[in-house]
Amino acid sequence: MRAWISLSACLLFACTATLPEGQYRCAGDSAGECPEGWSCVAGRCRSSASPDGAVDRDAGDGDRTDGGENGDAGVDAGGDGGTGMELPVVATLVPSDAPEAVGSEFGRALDFRGRAIAIGAPSYGAASAEGAVYVFEASGFRQVGRYSIVSSGSAELGFDVALSEDYVFAGRPGANEVLRFDTRSEEVFTLRGGGGFYGGSVEVLAPDQLAVGAYRFAPAAEEDVGAVYRLGFDGTPDTEVGRDGPPVMGDVFGSSLAVDDTARWLAVGAPSRGSQPGFVVLHDLMSGLSRRVTSPATGDKFGVSVAFWGDLLAVGADQNTSGSSADGVGRVYLYDVATGAPAGSIESAGSSDRFGASVCAAGTTLLVGAPLARGGRGAVYAYGRTDLVLVAELTPPTDAGQFGRACAANGGTVVIGAPLSGGGVATQTGAAYVFDVGTLGGR
């Protein structure tokens, strides 16, 4: 096995990076939340060298383009209570080796932590689908790293990705592995599972602990039961997460993972491929106990995506039809994390758009992806905490494809994956689009 790695060792948390002007918000005219030597102008951090608060960004090395180049990219307010505000795409992220990355599904998986954005391209390598992972800095949105492993089979490196302070973790489920790339030494460490598409989902739980899903795990010849494991960054100990109920064929337990901001709760999605309803397990990382919330419907893929939204858990069911005559409308359910009690739901206004295929929270704003909306271009909808009002709609460029397939947020900045996009570079290379939603959903 041979790895190709290039990454700035001071990328993630350890050093001070240069921030793009105007990207970060500040309160009033107080510069306390801005970098040293910068000032707060009209609620945005600006350097004193920038006249009249003008934003000055260069396009980098061909791996990032400013938003708006394709005409209609941006955020359009929609629905009752819409703000009427339009927010531009802050940046379009594409792989530096775009001609070779056609069909790579760049943007299928995302993680955004600290000053880094990790983007998976699991189909990279044409027919071989060996996969690749790219890392961008969150300050200037430049590509600073690319990981790939030469393989002879369909390993799908980057099927899911997760970031910690010093490591980039990438699922390689075609080989039943998770690879740990060290950003300091460029060492590659392999965490091997026992099968079942191990590495199909990956989530960092703590500074030294990881959760790995193997949603095709099949004990006793029962297909697609699924399993999730908690383990250290060195692979030990390896303990299985309980599901608060008997394993059933077709559960696909571990299809999605999310950890809350306090690192107390792990959510595990089991969207079910059988006739039984999907469910999500809330696993207490302190006590080790698990509690299940179950879909009120069957066949809706409840649990295909999960995200924590403050004290609420958001669960995507992208094939839900309850409450509507439309086919495959999709719905997002909300639950109180502490009690598991239902706290509302959001239904798509369209049909067959896979509304709920991805969910992520940016402060008080909940983002819901619908990657098959607009004839497959995709869309992402933003909701506020108050009465779950639709406050905006993120619309992709004209060459987008499956915009909303993945979503990751850090503060008020959101990255949306569109694995079949052109990104202004090459057809179906894939792209990720950066938006600043700020406090769109309320304070």
Highest mean pLDDT range out of 95-104, 160-169, 397-406? 160-169
pLDDT at residue number 13: 39
Residues in the chain: 443
**Could you say which DSSP state residue 423 is in?**
T
pLDDT at residue number 153: 75
**296 vs 314: CA distance, rounded Å:** 15
* CA distances (Å), origin 440, targets 118, 238, 386, 414: 25, 41, 11, 12
Nearest one of 260, 297, 266, 292 to 279, comparing CA atoms? 292
Which tokens sit at 320?
Answer: 């839900």
Nearest one of 368, 384, 382 to 443, comparing CA atoms? 384
Please state, for a pLDDT cut of 70, what percent of the chain lies above it. 76
Q: Which residues does residue 368 pair with via DSSP β-bridges, in sequence order?
A: 359, 381
**22 vs 17: CA distance, rounded Å:** 15
Token pair 């509507």 in the structure block, residue:
324
**Structure confidence at residue 33 as a pLDDT band (50, 70, 90):** very low
* Residue 388: strand, helix, or coil: helix
Cβ contacts of 443 within 8 Å, gap of 6 or more? 364
More confident residue, 287 or 49: 287
For residue range 169-217, what is the model confidence (pLDDT) as tens digits? Answer: 999 999 999 999 998 888 999 999 889 999 999 999 998 999 999 999 9
- Give the mean pLDDT of 76-94: 60
More confident residue, 98 or 209: 209
**Structure confidence at residue 160 as a pLDDT band (50, 70, 90):** very high
**Structure confidence at residue 84 as a pLDDT band (50, 70, 90):** very low
Q: Decide if pLDDT at 426 tops 80.
A: no
* CA distances (Å), origin 82, targets 243, 375, 383, 413: 39, 24, 10, 20
Q: Decide if pLDDT at 23 tops 60.
A: no
Which tokens sit at 406?
Answer: 């993945």
For residue range 247-258, what is the model confidence (pLDDT) as tens digits? Answer: 999 999 999 999
Task: Please count the other Cβ atoms lying within 10 Å of the Cβ belonging to residue 355.
Answer: 32
- The continuous run of DSSP H or E covering 132 comes out as strand 132-137
Nearest one of 322, 312, 305, 300 to 343, comparing CA atoms? 312
The H helix count followed by the E strand count for the chain is 0, 33
Please state, for a pLDDT cut of 90, what percent of the chain lies above it. 58
CB burial readout 128-143, b (16+ within 10 A) else e: ebbbbbbbbbbbbbbb
Q: Decide if pLDDT at 261 tops 80.
A: yes
- Give the mean pLDDT of 273-284: 92
**Mean pLDDT, rounded, of the chain:** 81
Q: Decide if pLDDT at 1 tops 70.
A: no
* CA distances (Å), origin 87, targets 84, 281, 349, 364: 10, 35, 22, 17
**296 vs 345: CA distance, rounded Å:** 12
Domains of the chain by start residue, with CATH: 3-20+57-436 (2.130.10.130)
More confident residue, 311 or 67: 311
For residue range 115-152, what is the model confidence (pLDDT) as tens digits? Answer: 999 999 999 986 678 999 999 999 899 999 999 987 76
For residue range 304-340, what is the model confidence (pLDDT) as tens digits? Answer: 999 999 999 999 999 887 665 455 679 999 999 999 9
Cβ contacts of 98 within 8 Å, gap of 6 or more? 62, 423, 425, 426, 429
**Structure confidence at residue 366 as a pLDDT band (50, 70, 90):** very high
Q: Is the bond preceding residue 247 a cis peptide, omega within 30 degrees? A: no
pTM summary value: 0.82
Q: Decide if pLDDT at 28 tops 80.
A: no
Q: Decide if pLDDT at 408 tops 90.
A: yes
Nearest one of 333, 240, 249 to 293, comparing CA atoms? 333
